[in-house]
Structure 1
Amino acid sequence: MNKEKIFSLILTGCLVLGTTFPAFAVDAKKTNTIATNNPVSKDNKNLKFSKEVAQKKAKELLQKYFDIKIDDKDFKCNLTLSSYKHNNSSYSVWNIYWHCDSYNKETVIEASLDANTGTLISMHKNEYSKASNVSIPKLSIEEAQKISDNVIKNTNPSEYKLCELSNNKWFSNRVNSSDYSFHYVRNLFGAKYYDNYITVTVNGLTGKIKSYNFNWDKNIKVPPMPKIDLSKVCEDKFKNEMNVNLKYNLFKNKYQYENKENTKNIKLVYEPSLEKSNFIDATTGEFIKDSSIDNYNVETIELNPKEKTTLYNKYKNLENYKKPLEKAEALKLINIKIAELYGKGYTVKNLDYREYDNSTKSNENKTWTAHFTKELESKNEKTKNKEPETKEGYIRINALNGEIVAANLYSYFDYNEKFTPKFTWKEGYYKAIDLLGKYYPSRVKNIDLKLTHREIIYTENEEKEPERFYRYHFTRKVNNIPYDNDSIYIEFNTKTGELSEINCSWDDNITFQSPNKKISVNKAKETYFNKYKPELRFIWQNTSKDPKNLKRELKLVYALDNKDIYVNAFNSKLLNDYDGEEIKFDISEFLNEIKGSKAEKEIKILAYKGLIDTKDFKLKKEVKNMDLIKTLVDALGYTPYLIEMKNSTADKLANDESNSNSNESLLSKEDYLKMAKYYGFIGEDVENFDADKKVSRETMCKALIKFLNYETIAECKDTFVLNAKDSHEVSKENFGYVALAKGLNLIDLENNKVKPKSTVTMEDLSLSLFRALENKERSYGIVPMYR
């Protein structure tokens, strides 16, 4: 569509100038649901719907409720039959798959149908074409919700009356999707039952339903509601039992492929946690214990003061060499460490040196890595072929100081083999402590030495299976505060007693904030409970102590969700678990600001997609160069991954010397300029970039055309005609950009005037950005894989 529009513009210009122009799936992830696929050719006499009838029924429902017509001439069809067990009931489901492929479009349609009742459980339609590849929806969230509501009123009218829509949030980082998803949860007498739900996804471009999922238990037995309201009692119990633990937490940095050294988004936070349970019985007011806890013996261990002193006496600074180890030096050191860790007789192979300037861990920037093997003694015929004839492993050391980064001795074993562990978990703990003192003396004062071990309890009739490995995970502590992204991991093979793995994941280049000005624990807890209250809901509870014979009952509880939420330890703001940004609960000021604007709908969509910061947004604010740069860079989403690739070549971009440990912004001014230069929004002279200069309309037009990668077309100056009274006021070098922007409807004329020198407002920029995104295809480039 975009190319056709541009072609039309060029063709028009050429004619004026006299120039010729030659795409319920049943929730099988639930632990209490078992699915088995059966061949559809099998005679299923007990099913009401055969595969032919099911296929016909599904097609009728898709056309009736979702306006999806399937032509057997164009679509190929596959079917599978799955059997499920859920809450002591069994049922079968037909999973039907249609596929149609043509030159311009590929369509995939999936539907699941109850094989006995004919109920449509789920539907999903995906179309892959240029027309479905736009990066911004045309519908607002309110318009999409109306469509979703109407669909459920038609497909499930009785269930719709028993549902309520889950709270919508203003999400960020969703620029690459033009869809809206809505999740309706069943409400039983004022309590939510999350196991029953209806979900709908609406295509924000077409208004068509993209997916539908119906998960409902019509035979549910609801226990009687309690006569006494214990909400206040339960809230007080949650407050008393909740811990808010201080920690340094690493959040994702949405502007980078990886969290590089010195650019890590680390914040000091309080993390809410409940050790007893997240549920309190709404009838008794008692915490509901997780029955699986009874199946384990829990053992906690920590060094006593005398043992700690002995370990801490081994402390010494880690000093780097003047230059990385040479190959001969590295080989000699690696041979020594292999012999110490695993014994003699190993031969080093494949010794490699590697440098990673952008490594996420400073101890992995420059390393030597080697594989090693050892021939085992010949075996008699009884043991031959049961075990390998060689032992092998690998080791990696820091080339700057010789510290072991990682080492592993591969373990070959038979899960059914019977053996007795060489030592206990507690004895292994002290072996691990010895290794810490020997190989990581500079780390011993900065790790948490307290560990917990969970061992399965076996009944009298069960044969005990020994643990194959003992694992010890020592978390880093800074200012006596845990930072669990760095740690030392030690693992033993319990059959052989050998060290199977040791790993040090550590970054010495991080500057951690001082906790001196942190808020109190009580203040953090108060902040959390000011926003989050216990919710009345129904859950399934196993009341049987026999893990092989579950007895599940529906229980009314008060639930408190404390996962994935943090409290900023300095300003009490609630943060999300993704990028550590403040959770925005109230956007009323923003909505009032944009109410009545000519771009109200467009601005609201941009905000919902995370492209406009709702905080301090003002319609009439005059746009400066830096505002324009930030807006366009943010609108391009994850593309900064390409900068990391470009930085690895000789053609590097401007150096970033900013302090990105700031709590206020994930991306500094310098970061934005570096990325804007890469995208081509600004030229080579980054140092002299005038960030405070006000943006004119013609400057905005030029930036948006570059944003769309249409600058080559815009440079064809003699091709375009700009029908405006003040077209002569447009700078000659920007004429093609302004004319193309007008042709693409990125800007509006006032009294047939462009007003090219007028300053742009945030209202103008928002509307023009939205229209630009309507012309921009969604990016399917490489998406970051976070560590």
Structure 2
Amino acid sequence: MKGKKLAASLVVTLAFSTVAPVFADSTISIGNISVTPISAPANAVVIQDASKSEISKEKAMEIAKEALKKHFDLELDDKKYQSNIEYRKDWNDPERNVWAMYWNYNDPMEYSHAGVTIDGKSGKILEMNKDGGKYGEQTPKKTLITREEAQEKAEAFIEKILPGLVKQTKLMPLYEDYGPIPYGNPNPIFYHFNYQRVVDEAKYDANYINVGIDGATGEIRNFNYRWEDELKLPSKSGIMTVEEASKILRDKTKMELIYLPIRDEFNYQPIPKSLKLAYRPSYDFANMLDAKTGKMIGWNGKDQDQQLQAAGLTEKQIAEIKKSAKPIVKKAEVITQERAKELAIEILKNEIEGDVKINNVNYVEGDGYWETAGRKAWNIDFTVEKKADPKVDAKLSIMPINNGRVMIDAQTEELIAFSNWQNDMVYGQPFDPVLTWEEAYNKAIDMVKKYQPDKIDQIKTEQVFVKNYEMIDGREIPPMEYYFNFTRTVNGIIYEDNQINVSFNSKTGKLQNFNSRWNEDLKFPARENAISLETAKDKFFDINEVELGYYRYNTINDYQNPKYDTRLIYRLLSLKPQYNLIDAISGKFIDYNGRTMPEVSQGDFNEKIKGHWVEKQAKILAQQGIIDKDTFNPDQEISRIEAVKMLVSARGMDYYYPLKEAAAEVKYSDVSEDDSDLRFIYMAMRHGIIENKEGKFNGSEVINREELVVMLVKMLRYDALAKASDIFNVSFADKDSIKPEVLGYAAIAQGLKLVDGSGSFRSADKATMAETADMIYKALSYVNR
């Protein structure tokens, strides 16, 4: 069944591909471009067993076409569109059969795609989507509607297609409420709205309505919903109170200390430039509370104590292993290739059965491999040829060959990586494992003891196993691999960037992977000044509320033939889903790069700009991360650095262009390599928004309208044109006061309607945040042209 699903998905993916246009065989010229078309394939129909459907294929097609015409203003021409039709189980609810229909049209000038999914029993429309456009046509680069306007459109559409249902739902938090887009996104916003059903004041998220709206056009682009007409939900009788549930959930929520690696966000550094102490919430499998029994349950609806196995070493066992470890001696020179090969062969004799052939030996260092960060190593690729078993190999349709690698530290001779990629297992086929999880854990500890015993007291030996076997075609499939992640700990604090991973093939019992990533000479911050665990937990629960919900789950883990049940549960609803890390020193929420998260809420920001003439523009730019909700005050004068940051965010940040090498080229005397805004200053120079010149940048200095307009026109890359000032005329009332070298910039700003040409240019007036936001919003129509 999974294979059929995958095949169906591939058919859909190919049908929706816009990489190569599909049209009749001929060569067509578009301007200077010659295009050789690809012949269109025949329309595809995939039918599993349509005899179970009360809606015929023809009726389903009729319903779908009428819906696309009525709701999406899309009329399908069968001669023009290719179609793919499937009758299959619903991927959201396998107990339901659906007709899934897709249409695709491509020619050298335009493309159009659409899809509709219909309930095979009732004929109800469950999903609709469309996309289309013209090749070579300038796409809109500006969001025209705010989130509030998009939400009104979404709810009006739901009311039209599903009368009365939106009143039975709750809108989930939206992306722009989660946190800032760090460096802006000049592209139009695509709004997603997720409404989840509420029954008797409890959320039932198995029933939902989703709507997607194009922020540039205001069009509904996709819709899907799942809704049960006859609900069979458990009674709320006998459930605990919210206060009781809150206490248990608080007690069960762990706040663990971690060392967070801080790196340059744009240029990956194998070894982080610094580390930061942070708190984060943690759970062992279960993160929901049964509202009646008070027991913690996991995503599969089962009690925590029924699902978990745990193992770990005692302090005495750790000490004994550490005592037997030989000192690690780091050589000044790297070992030879022959020595590395010799060490690898010895390891392969211990871990591999069969005839081993060394294929390649190469020297590596740096971040070429995950394990080699800050290290020098020899990487040895090998092949294992095993004796063929005609019966087994014919059944599996595979060749009895394994490939793998061994990686040896070139200065310490430690094993830092071993992989044995075995191909003698097929997903979904039952087998009898030769190892239990406990036995595999003991073997994993033996591997650490054998290859890196000196680190045994620096790793978290406690491991947890979730006993959750998948069912396929009514048969229980054991885990194909037992995996153990021994995370590095320093001063009892987790540092996940360093770890030793060990896994075993559960069918053969053989070592499958051993990987060690470990960096010496890191400076770990002391924990003495950290806020307490309880203080961190208070902060976490300040942005989470306990909600009552109905939780539907599959009781048998058979995803092809599920059997559902529903429990009343209490769980945490995050009011700020991206606020998961707390700086253990400052107590403020931070992101995964260690930056402090904004403290101004969407509501606070909306109140600050309410009724202002720039309200709509500011809302849209804030949603795109182009203006900072924390610092934006519409009538406040704007500094040079704030203007530069907004312009760079509107132009688009290059995440991959190297900064460190170029930072030395910055000539401003008051800008250092440690400047927090260096990335913006450098990108502004790269985009031509500012010049890289001797003297001071004076980032905190307020700028005037003249400088703002010049930077804005440069951001649009019209600088060369603006310098031809003698070809321009302007109609500003104070045009005689405009400097000759600025006249071209002023004219372009007027011509593009970035500023109002019917009034005064006001060159020397200080620019405000509102004026800057308004000009940038208007300029987005021309970005990337």
Give me the TM-score of the superposition, normalised by structure 2.
Answer: 0.79
2:172 corresponds to which of 166, 185, 194: 166
CA 456–99 in structure 1, closer or farther in 2 if over 3 Å, else same: closer
Which of 622, 633, 644 is equivalent to 2:648? 633
The question of whether the paired residues in 1 share the 8 Å contact of 2:48 and 2:88 is answered with: no
1:301 lines up with 2:311 in the alignment: yes
Identity in percent: 25
What does residue 653 of structure 1 align with? 662
| 8 Å contact from structure 2 (residues 262, 594) kept in 1 | yes
| 3-state SS, counterpart of residue 641 of structure 1 | coil
Specify the code of the residue in structure 2 equivalent to 1:760. A
Structure 1 position 298, deviation (Å): 4.6
SS of the residue 2:516 aligns to: strand
Secondary structure of the equivalent of 1:504?
A: strand
* Alignment partner, residue 202 of structure 1: 213
Specify the alignment match of 2:729 in structure 1. 721
Distance apart, 1:211 and its partner CA:
1.0
> Paired residue for 2:572?
560
Q: In the alignment, what sits opposite 1:533?
A: 545
TM-aligned CA deviation for residue 265 of structure 1: 7.9
Pairing partner for 1:270 from 276, 280, 287: 280
Question: What is the match of residue 117 of structure 2?
Answer: 112
**Cα separation, 2, equivalents of 1:537 and 1:466:** 32
Q: Distance in 2 between matches of 1:458 and 1:100?
A: 40
Letter in 1 for 2:289: F
Displacement of 1:605: 0.9
1:196-231 Cα shifts (integer Å, max 9, x gaps): 111111111221111111211112234444387722
Deviation at 1:392, TM superposition (A): 4.4
Q: Indicate how the Cα distance of structure 1 residues 345 and 44 shifts in structure 2: closer, same or farther if over 3 A, else same.
A: closer
User: Aligned partners of 1:358, 1:379: CA distance in 2, in Å?
Assistant: 35
- Counterpart pick for 1:184 among 187, 191, 195: 195
2:717 corresponds to 1:709: yes
- Deviation of residue 448 (structure 1)? 0.9
Q: CA deviation at 1:194?
A: 0.9
Asked if 2 retains the 8 angstrom alpha-carbon contact of 1:542 and 1:553, the reply is yes
SS for the counterpart of 2:130 is strand
Residue in 2 that maps onto 1:240:
251
Residues 225-624 of structure 1 correspond to what in structure 2 (within 5 A)? 225-226=236-237, 230-249=241-260, 255-256=265-266, 258=268, 260-263=270-273, 267-273=277-283, 277-281=287-291, 283=292, 287=296, 292=302, 298-313=308-323, 321-322=331-332, 324=334, 327=337, 330-331=340-341, 334=344, 338=348, 346-356=356-366, 363=373, 366-373=376-383, 392-399=403-410, 401-414=412-425, 421=434, 425-426=437-438, 428-440=440-452, 443-454=455-466, 469-493=481-505, 498-508=510-520, 510-540=522-552, 552-561=564-573, 565-575=580-590, 581-582=596-597, 586-624=601-639
In the alignment, which residue of structure 2 is the partner of 1:15?
A: none
Give 1:78's aligned amino acid.
N
Q: Matches of 1:405 and 1:772 in 2, distance apart?
A: 53
Check 1:694–1:405 CA distance in 2 against 1; reply closer, same or farther (3 A cut): farther
Q: Deviations over 1:461-511 (max 9, x none)?
A: x99987654433211112211122321112344565543321112344654
Change (3 A) 1:577 1:540: farther
Matched, 1:126 2:134: no
Aligned partners of 2:198, 2:498: CA distance in 1, in Å?
43
Worse overlay, 189-198 or 486-495: 486-495
How far apart in 2 are the matches of 1:767 and 1:164?
Answer: 34
Number of the residue aligned with 1:7: none
CA drift at 1:268: 1.1
2:307–2:466 CA contact under 8 A, matched in 1: yes
Q: After TM superposition, give the deviation of residue 192 of structure 1 in Å.
A: 1.4
Quick one: structure 1 residues 724 and 577, their matched pair in 2 at CA, closer, same or farther if it must change by over 3 Å? same
- Deviation of 1:567 after TM superposition, in Å, equals 3.4
Note if 1:736 corresponds to 2:744.
Answer: yes
| Alignment partners' CA distance in 2, 1:710 and 1:273 | 54
Q: Deviations over 1:104-134 (max 9, x none)?
A: 4322121222234332211111124466733
Pair 1:676-2:676 in alignment = no
Q: Secondary structure in 2 aligned to 1:488?
A: strand
Distance 1:667 1:247, change over 3 A: farther
The one of 63, 79, 82 equivalent to 2:88 is: 82
What is the deviation of 1:259?
A: 5.6
Secondary structure of the structure 2 residue equivalent to 1:739: helix
Separation (CA, whole Å) in 2 of partners of 1:284 and 1:107: 53
Are the counterparts in 2 of residues 366 and 400 from structure 1 also a CA contact under 8 Å?
Answer: yes
Aligned to 2:760: 753
Instruction: Say whether the 8 Å CA contact 1:268–1:513 is kept in structure 2.
Output: no
Higher mean C-alpha displacement, 155-164 vs 66-75: 66-75
Q: Report deviation, 1:162.
A: 1.5
Paired residues of 2:296 and 2:303 also in contact (CA < 8 A): no
1:264/1:59 CA distance change after superposition, 3 Å? farther
Equivalents in 1 of 2:718, 2:51: separation in Å? 62
Aligned residues: 724
Residues 95/544 of structure 1: CA separation in 2 closer, same or farther (3 Å cut): closer
Q: Offset of 1:167 from its aligned partner?
A: 3.0
Residues 544/454 of structure 1: CA separation in 2 closer, same or farther (3 Å cut): closer
User: Who is 1:70 aligned against?
Assistant: 76
Deviations 1:723-769 (A, max 9, x none): 324445444444433322222222335x7322234332222222222
Deviations, residues 534-567 of structure 1 (Å, cap 9, x unaligned) = 1122222567899999753433332224787333
In structure 1, the residue matched to 2:150 is 144
Report 1 or 2 for greater relative contact order, CA contacts < 8 Å, sequence distance ≥ 6: 1
- For the residues of structure 1 that align with 2:48 and 2:555, how far apart are their CA atoms? 38
SS of aligned partner of 1:673? helix
Further displaced range: 319-328 or 405-414: 319-328
The answer on 1:96 being equivalent to 2:101 is yes
Structure 2 SS opposite 1:709: coil
1:9 matched residue in structure 2: none
d(CA) in 2 for partners of 1:247, 1:96:
49
Residues 643 and 678 in structure 1, CA contact (< 8 A), matched pair in contact too: no
Taking only aligned residues, the RMSD between alpha carbons, in angstroms, comes to 4.3
The answer to whether the 8 Å contact 2:194/2:209 transfers is yes
Deviation at 1:336, TM superposition (A): 5.7
Which ranges in structure 2 are unaligned for 5 or more consecutive residues?
7-11, 13-43, 667-672
Instruction: Go from structure 1 to structure 2 and tell me whether the alpha carbon gap of 1:240 and 1:50 turns closer, same or farther (over 3 Å shift).
Output: same
Determine if contact 2:195/2:210 at 8 Å carries over to the other structure. Answer: yes
Secondary structure of the residue aligned to 2:627 is coil
Contact 1:252 1:259 in 2 (8 A): yes
Give the deviation of 1:61 after TM superposition: 2.2
In the alignment, is the contact (CA less than 8 A) between 2:279 and 2:581 conserved in 1? Answer: yes
If the length of structure 1 is used for normalisation, what is the TM-score?
0.79
Code of the aligned partner of 1:351: V
- Structure 2 residue identity aligned to 1:237: I
2:28 maps to which residue?
A: none
Relative to structure 1, the CA distance from residue 256 to residue 284 in structure 2 (aligned partners, 3 Å threshold; closer, same or farther) is same
Instruction: Tell me if 1:769 matches 2:761.
Output: no
What is the alpha-carbon distance in structure 1 between the residues aligned to residue 297 and residue 402 of structure 2? 49
2:662 maps to a residue whose letter is L
